Amino acid sequence: MRMRCSPWRLSASSTVNSTTDLFAGNIAGGWAADRNLPRTLIVTLTALTAVLALFALTASNQIAAVAGLLLMGGIGFGTVPALQMRVLSQAEQAPTLASGANIGAFNLGNSLGAALGGLTIDAGLGYTSPLWVAAAVTAGALLVYLTATRLPGGEFAARPPTPALSSR
């Protein structure tokens, strides 16, 4: 059975879905980041990598593609509050500058992602190739985060043992 949809209806439903994803992802991501920032970053980046790869594998199925698109949007927007909190937690002396740089990095990532996706399609790798690129970039971001958190001063860096309290 083939479904037909007018461009107006498709555009309206896409706008509603992306707005819903933006709202739900930001609320859920902010809630989770408030409770445990490192875990939220690890979970959201891992989940986003998996959803992007699964979406690439199932994009030819209409129902799976819609589900993948919704999950990709919700989880993708869910990373934003955690990433913003991470940046601000590391920039005590200049939070406004750090916040602006972080938003600039999001915009740069959007433009580079579109460019890389266009290059993969132009190279004949197919219309799902941008999803594979996005999954690889997201996995790379997760690896960078995990590495950075293990550097001196990171959340998971080895800490010297705290001295025992001496008794009087």
Give me the DSSP letters along 29-50.
Answer: HHHHHHH-HHHHHHHHHHHHHH
Minimum mean pLDDT range among 26-40, 76-90, 116-130, 143-157: 143-157
Percent of the chain clearing pLDDT 90 (strictly above): 60
What domain count does the chain have? 1
- pTM summary value: 0.81
Confirm whether 163 is domain-assigned. no
Q: 40-52, pLDDT tens digit by residue?
A: 999 999 999 999 9
Confirm whether 107 is domain-assigned. yes
Confirm whether 168 is domain-assigned. no
Confirm whether 146 is domain-assigned. yes
Confirm whether 51 is domain-assigned. yes
CA distances from 139 to 50, 131, 136, 144, 163 (A): 9, 12, 5, 9, 38
Where do the DSSP E strands lie in the chain? none
Kindly indicate the confidence band of residue 168, based on its pLDDT and cuts at 50, 70 and 90.
Answer: very low
Are 73 and 17 contacting, i.e. CB atoms less than 8 angstroms apart? Answer: yes
Confirm whether 44 is domain-assigned. yes
- Rg of the chain over CA atoms, in angstroms? 20
Structure tokens at 68: 């993948």
Confirm whether 158 is domain-assigned. no
Answer yes or no: is pLDDT of 12 > 60. no
Confirm whether 2 is domain-assigned. no
Looking at residues 110-134, what average pLDDT do you find? 96
Which residues form the domain of 142?
15-150
